[in-house]
Structure 1
Amino acid sequence: MFKIKNADFVISAVKKNQYPQTGLPEVAFVGRSNVGKSSIINALTNRRKLAKVSQTPGKTRLINFFIINNNEFYLVDLPGYGYAKVSKAEKESWGKTIETYLKGREELKRVILLVDSRHKPTADDIQMHEWIKFYGYDEVIIATKSDKLSNNEQKKSEKVIRETLKLTKEDKLYFFSSLNKKGKDELVDKLFCDINSNVIDGEVTSN
């Protein structure tokens, strides 16, 4: 089972020439500004303050790179989107920052799209899902704040998320709570165990 032993902040970036140029694989996290992205990154990496949890949604405007397990891969925290109380120009700027990163980033192996398990995915969530698919990245969807739902509510939520995003049975969707961290080790393994492998003709081979 894959384990995250250590995680450290490396750099914040906006432009491509500021991204790390090491060639290491990357896994990016993206979601609405109030979806709990920083909390889930901190929970999965066992670092309470690795990603800064802001009391002001929409504050993160930069792409933050964190190195995992001493140069094994980068975990990438993309800016939150969809916050209503910012100008149209700011929204467009964040969108451009995210799309610039997604466009032709060879090191990017997987994108983790976070959606709020308590609500139907928004138009911004749908657009982000379509962007990820358009650029051809492997996608995993995590429904956050699942501790707020009963088992029946979670089943209903899964149905709504899958229908709204038009997911197939093969599309990966997991529920997680940064509060109770139930199933954390299993989720870490599912998200990161094969990052240093190449998939060739359906077979996984290690680098």
Structure 2
Amino acid sequence: MEVNNVTLEAVCGNVNQFPQSNLNEIAFVGKSNVGKSSLINTLINRKSLARTSSQPGKTQTINFYNIEDKLYFVDLPGYGFAKVSKRERERWGKFIETYLTTRNQLKQIVLLVDIRHEPNNNDKMMYNWICHYKFDVIVVATKLDKIKKSQIQKHISIIRKKLEMDSNHMIIPFSAQTKQGKEEIWKNFERWVIN
């Protein structure tokens, strides 16, 4: 899809602030600092509309990006960041879960994992949760440029094994630096989400 017009339409700290719209939504989930904002910026051809930060746990809101008035990208707070209080983590967890379980417009979930590392228990829990609720899922393995080409298949099979992935679910290796994986991710969105 050609993307020229994108707006950050809503920054939501609670469910009452979610946009009232019938546009389909694609949610991006992953642990803190896995590269959600970088992926979103790459997909929408922007340098910094989605704010990236080297400080984990920075995104504490659910952010809705309107893409060409055709769909929303929904950036969820990163999970598994230890430096916020337990109470705050629980609040985020409930907030994210409310969005994921009540939003009829949500059509697809993109789970981001760092290709360099084995998925952790939080990643596994999130993957299982997505499958339990029968959402269409794509796993995007970020930071592809940080490993050698010869290592890619090995790392992908480690992710697949650790998450105990359904053989029908795809993993797309992605690099925000080289843009590798961008076209494949868009093709997948167009197949499932964009009418």
Shift of 1:66: 0.5
Q: Superposition pairs for residues 97-116 of structure 1, below 5 Å?
A: 97-116=95-114
Shift of 1:172: 1.2
Aligned to 2:16: 17
Shift of 1:180: 1.1
Shift of 1:193: 4.3
1:128 partner SS: helix
Structure 1 stretches of at least 4 aligned residues deviating more than 4 Å after TM superposition: none
1:103 partner SS: helix
Note the residue ranges of structure 2 that are not aligned, 5 or more in a row.
none
Aligned to 1:194: 192
Note the residue ranges of structure 1 that are not aligned, 5 or more in a row.
198-207
Q: Superposition pairs for residues 1-207 of structure 1, below 5 Å?
A: 2-69=1-68, 71-197=69-195
Cα distance change, pair 183–56 in 1 and its aligned pair in 2 (3 A): closer
2:56 partner SS: coil
Shift of 1:17: 2.1
Q: Tell whether the 8 Å contact from 1:7 to 1:47 is kept in structure 2 after alignment.
A: no
The whole-number CA distance in structure 2 between the counterparts of 1:42 and 1:196 is 19
- The one-character-per-residue Cα deviations of 1:127-154 (angstroms, maximum 9, x if unpaired) are 1111211222110000000111123311
* Count of residue pairs brought into register by the alignment: 195
Shift of 1:15: 2.5
2:117 partner SS: coil
Normalized against structure 2, the TM-score is what?
Answer: 0.94
The whole-number CA distance in structure 2 between the counterparts of 1:72 and 1:105 is 17
Identity %: 45
The whole-number CA distance in structure 2 between the counterparts of 1:29 and 1:186 is 16
The whole-number CA distance in structure 1 between the counterparts of 2:158 and 2:184 is 24
CA RMSD, 1 decimal: 1.4
Q: Which amino acid aligns with 1:94?
A: W
Shift of 1:56: 1.4
Q: Tell whether the 8 Å contact from 2:173 to 2:180 is kept in structure 1 after alignment.
A: no
The whole-number CA distance in structure 2 between the counterparts of 1:108 and 1:191 is 12
